[in-house]
């Protein structure tokens, strides 16, 4: 009987040990699962943090690019208005007062002049002066021809701009035109020669028109000689501060 009781007691203790061991394993498993869950949660938090940092950086970069683009666009707009200006000025020639439209291209150093309403005694055409090349061109609509010659003087583009700005600011009411006489060389000039000598701007200005060279003629101190030149010349082609008259050969 005592032996049997002892056996039951030993069995009970073994069962208790096994139950305790099972509980320990269960707790260890729970602890391990907790660590896994905690590690997963930390990994998820790190991923969210990285994503937030990347999104913040991207938004910052995008915002910076947008700001730079806006500033560049504003700067380009300002520069465009600075380099492409159109003036409507009154040109005084003798007793005549003629309205001119003057387009200034600062980048190419070019001034283009046209007359919206063609007064009597003035030719229907446009003139282009290339200050960088030192050449000017006259597009004569009545003759369907283009005439190219050297500038009469080496006035700079800045000089011309200063005059136009004074007009715009109301410092001067009109610009005075001086007569300048030029003679036509009747030999046709090929476009490539015009471009080589007078530059691309003038070659494109005279595109698809028969082109001829002009030779400068100095005005005489004798008014009678000047009157003779005037009688043999065309009407006035308006150039910036010049009335260009083409004398027949």
Q: What is the pLDDT of residues 96-127, one digit of tens each?
A: 888 888 888 888 889 898 887 767 777 778 89
Asked if pLDDT for residue 73 goes beyond 50, the answer is no
The helix or strand, by DSSP H or E, that contains position 157, with its residue range, turns out to be: helix 157-168
- pLDDT at residue 200 greater than cutoff 80: yes
Say what the pLDDT of residue 203 is. Answer: 95
Phi then psi dihedrals of residue 226, to 5 deg: -65, -40
Buried b (16+ CB within 10 A) or exposed e, 126-140: bbbbbbebebbbbbb
CA dihedral 35, 38, 42, 48 (to 10 degrees): 140
Confidence of residue 188 (pLDDT cuts 50, 70, 90): very high
Residue keyed to tokens 């009987």: 1
Instruction: Band the pLDDT of 191: cuts 50, 70, 90.
Output: very high
pLDDT at 75: 46
Task: Specify the pLDDT at position 13.
Answer: 61
Provide the mean pLDDT of the chain: 76
Report which of residues 134 and 38 the model is more confident about: 134
Strands 211-217 and 178-188: antiparallel
Place of tokens 């309205």: 99
Looking at per-residue confidence, does 127 or 154 come out higher?
Answer: 127
Higher pLDDT, 55 or 170: 55
What phi, psi does 75 have (nearest 5°)? Answer: -65, -40
Residue 224 has pLDDT above 60, yes or no: no
pLDDT band at 222 (very low <50, low <70, confident <90, very high): low
Q: Which two tokens stand for residue 26?
A: 């269960």
Minimum mean pLDDT range among 69-78, 85-94, 100-109, 124-133: 69-78
More confident call, 3 vs 235: 235
Whether 122 contacts 98, CB under 8 Å: yes
pLDDT at 189: 93
- How distant, in Å, are the alpha carbons of 55, 64, 78, 128 from that of 68? 20, 6, 15, 37
Beta strand extents in the chain (DSSP E only): 84-93, 96-105, 110-114, 125-130, 135-140, 145-150, 175-176, 178-188, 211-217, 237-239, 242-247
């Amino acid at each position: 009987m005592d032996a049997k009781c002892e056996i039951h007691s030993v069995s009970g203790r073994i069962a208790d040990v096994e139950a305790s061991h099972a509980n320990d394993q269960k707790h260890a498993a729970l602890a391990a699962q907790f660590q896994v869950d905690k590690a997963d949660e930390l990994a998820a938090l790190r991923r969210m943090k990285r994503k937030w940092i990347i999104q913040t950086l991207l938004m910052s970069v995008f915002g910076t690019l947008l700001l730079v683009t806006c500033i560049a666009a504003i700067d380009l707009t300002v520069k465009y208005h600075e380099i492409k200006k159109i003036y409507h000025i009154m040109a005084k020639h003798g007793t005549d007062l003629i309205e001119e439209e003057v387009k200034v291209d600062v980048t190419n150093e070019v001034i283009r002049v046209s007359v919206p309403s063609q007064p009597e005694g003035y030719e229907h055409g446009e003139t282009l002066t290339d200050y960088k090349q030192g050449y000017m061109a006259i597009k004569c609509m009545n003759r369907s021809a283009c005439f190219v010659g050297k500038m009469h003087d080496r006035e700079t583009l800045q000089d011309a701009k200063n005059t136009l700005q004074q007009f715009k600011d109301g410092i001067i009411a009109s610009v005075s035109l001086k007569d300048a006489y030029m003679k036509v060389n009747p030999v046709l000039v090929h476009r490539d020669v015009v471009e080589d000598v007078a530059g691309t701007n003038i070659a494109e200005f005279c595109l698809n028109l028969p082109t001829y060279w002009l030779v400068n003629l100095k005005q005489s101190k004798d008014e009678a000689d000047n009157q003779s030149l005037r009688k043999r010349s065309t009407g006035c082609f308006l150039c910036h501060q010049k009335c260009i008259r083409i004398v027949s050969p």
